[in-house]
Amino acid sequence: MISLEYRSNTKELLDRDDIPFPDIKRNMEELNTINTLLGGHSITVKGFAILAEDREKITVCEMGCGGGDNLVAIANWCRKNRIELHCIGIDIKKECIDVAKERQQLNGKSEWMVADYEKIVFSEKPDIIFSSLFCHHFTNEALIKQLHWMRENSQIGFFINDLHRNGLAYYSIRILTFLFSSSYLVKNDAPLSVARGFRKNEWIQLCKNAGINPVKVEWEWAFRYLILFAHGA
């Protein structure tokens, strides 16, 4: 029986440098399916919509964008709501950016950066910065720097969509991926991601330590937290 009292510090396989990219691509495809079926993309769109409000034109930047699935979800929502969108995707893996560049929904309205986010200097700061299933890869100390960076580099604000560390979530995703996943990365990393996830009081403390105030921390189905910060709120 795993203890979930504290965040796990066990590294995920995906954080290694020696994983073949075809395995990473399969991982991304399955995570997109999971996000679609369990509502992960809808949480991302919700966070974006809250900060975007009634603006007709907006720039959004995703940290750790992977293959661009979250940006596609936002782009589809903006298209339905007649919002002019410009996307910026940041990822440290060039192969992930190469996949994102192929997304037809993002053609002509996106720019891509292969870099560690800390090294990015914007000529013009994006309106909204966000991350999805990204923060749990980092230590609490690194997250404080990350939260500060998101605040300092956004004009409207930022939001985060990440996992709630919870026993039911852990064992449910462990069973589901064992039965239905064909990716060894997903089988190993999905439950570990939950163990590396957060509880509400931890988010509140992290934001406090980063000087982020006021901040909203909302629980979302299925076992996610949506963290929202708006400048001037």
Residue 124 burial class via C-beta count within 10 angstroms: exposed 0-12, middle 13-18, buried 19 and up = exposed
Between CA 50 and CA 61 the distance in angstroms is 15
Q: Cα-flanking dihedrals φ and ψ of residue 145, to 5°?
A: -65, -40
In a domain, 30, yes or no: yes
DSSP conformation class of 164: B
pLDDT at 221: 93
pLDDT at 172: 95
At 171, list the tokens: 């064992």
In a domain, 87, yes or no: yes
Total of domains in the chain: 1
Within 8 A by CB and 6+ apart from 173, the residues are: 190, 191, 194
Domain range holding 80? 17-230
Between CA 55 and CA 49 the distance in angstroms is 10
Between CA 48 and CA 139 the distance in angstroms is 25
CATH of the domain at 115: 3.40.50.150
Q: Give start and end residues of each alpha helix (H) in the chain.
A: 21-37, 40-52, 69-80, 94-101, 140-153, 167-180, 184-195, 200-209
In a domain, 9, yes or no: no
pLDDT at 1: 65
pLDDT at 141: 97
Within 8 A by CB and 6+ apart from 108, the residues are: none
In a domain, 114, yes or no: yes
In a domain, 4, yes or no: no
Residue 85 burial class via C-beta count within 10 angstroms: exposed 0-12, middle 13-18, buried 19 and up = buried
Count of alpha carbons within 13 angstroms of residue 114, beta-carbon side: 9
In a domain, 1, yes or no: no
pTM, two decimal places: 0.96
What are the b/e assignments for 196-216, b being 16+ CB within 10 Å?
bbbbeebbbebbeebebeebe
Amino acid letter, residue 56? E
Q: Divide the 233 residues of the chain into consecutive groups of 10 and give the mean pLDDT of each group.
A: 91 94 94 91 98 96 97 97 97 95 90 96 97 97 98 98 97 95 96 98 97 96 96 89
In a domain, 10, yes or no: no
In a domain, 59, yes or no: yes
